Amino acid sequence: RLAKKLKSEPLKSDFTIDLKHEIALYIWQKGEGPHLTPVPEFCTDDVNSYKADHCATTFSNFLPLCGEPVKKEDVFVAVKTCQKFHGDRIPVVKQTWEREAALIEYYSDYADISIPTIDLGVPNTDRGHCGKTFAILERFLNHSSSRTPWLVIVDDDTLISIFRLQKLLSCYDPNEPVFLGERYGYGLGTGGYSYITGGGGMVFSRIAVQKLLASKCRCYSMDAPDDMVLGMCFSGLGIPITHSPLFHQARPMDYPKGYLSHQIPVSFHKHWNIDPVKVYFTWLAPNTEEPLNGKKVGYNREDL
């Protein structure tokens, strides 16, 4: 029935974000289609959980590790910021995950030596940040050590575990053009392209950056959406993007509990209506309990 429907009725939205959600809506057909039937025996509980005794399915909860974790010194972290967020977002980075990064620089529209930030000479825009991101890619290629194989670009309100990313990157060959993160899609029903959404963090191998900048593909405007332009460019180069569900464009509270229960996440994004420091130490810190200002702290994930 669905296959027949797909032939005559194309998908409505240009954007493909949450595939499970979009398929559910497509099946539901505003109440005209078959109802979705929850079956409690199809579980997302860990295989070692006591709840698994009654499950028809279980899920192994682990972080991919394909060899020795990548060294901290092999991951260069670029943080995109601007002057208006220096006072509230950057202190969160410094309180949380900055300590995990061996190589980190903050790129802004204003040079602030107290952070310090680097002024790339690209004005801040209220829309996309394509100009800034391409300037970061150029700087990584021309000013960082050629022995640094990985680049991570994050927003100043991205919370990320570099410690877990080091393990995840053991599964990828830095000698290949790798573009890794959470995949979104644009116009996929009509021959569009996939892209890595910027808020969850975008990971590039140096080879991928070299191939991109050697091409003629650039921003169609300085305030174009950087993540979508990058997806379009890599698609044109025939370099596939690599999706990982461990990167997240949104906050933990924006996802179903069952979805996150079988993940060891690498990143979350946005500070709206949350305590981002608590979110980091609850979901992303190298240990479940980390000292904060000399005290051990632990938080309930249900509250976040």
Identify each DSSP E strand in 135-293 by its residue range: 150-155, 158-160, 179-181, 183-186, 193-196, 202-205, 242-243, 267-269, 290-292
Is residue 43 assigned to a domain? no
Residue 274 lies in a domain: no
Is residue 129 in a domain?
yes
Q: State the total domains in the chain.
A: 1
Nearest to 143 by CA among 105, 99, 179, 177: 105
Q: Nearest 10 degrees: CA dihedral of 146, 181, 285, 50?
A: -140
63-74 pLDDT per residue, tens: 888 999 999 999
Q: Report yes or no on 40 lying in a domain.
A: no
Global confidence as pTM = 0.90
Question: For residue 303, what pLDDT is reported?
Answer: 60
Q: Is residue 207 part of a domain?
A: yes
- Tell me the three-class secondary structure of 122-168, residue by residue: CCCCCCCCHHHHHHHHHHHHHHCCCCCCEEEEEECCEEECHHHHHHH
Look at residues 26, 23, 22 and name the one whose alpha carbon lies nearest to residue 9: 26
Residue 143 lies in a domain: yes
CATH code of residue 192:
3.90.550.50
pLDDT 10s digits, 84-114: 999 999 999 999 999 999 999 999 999 999 9
Domain membership of residue 279 (yes or no) is: no
Confidence of residue 293 (pLDDT cuts 50, 70, 90): very low
Residue holding tokens 């051990």? 296
Residue 296 DSSP SS3: strand
Q: Which residue has the higher pLDDT, 233 or 52?
A: 233
Domain boundaries, position 223? 72-243
Is residue 269 situated within a structural domain?
A: no
Express each pLDDT in 223-260 by its tens digit. Answer: 999 999 999 999 999 999 999 999 999 999 999 887 88
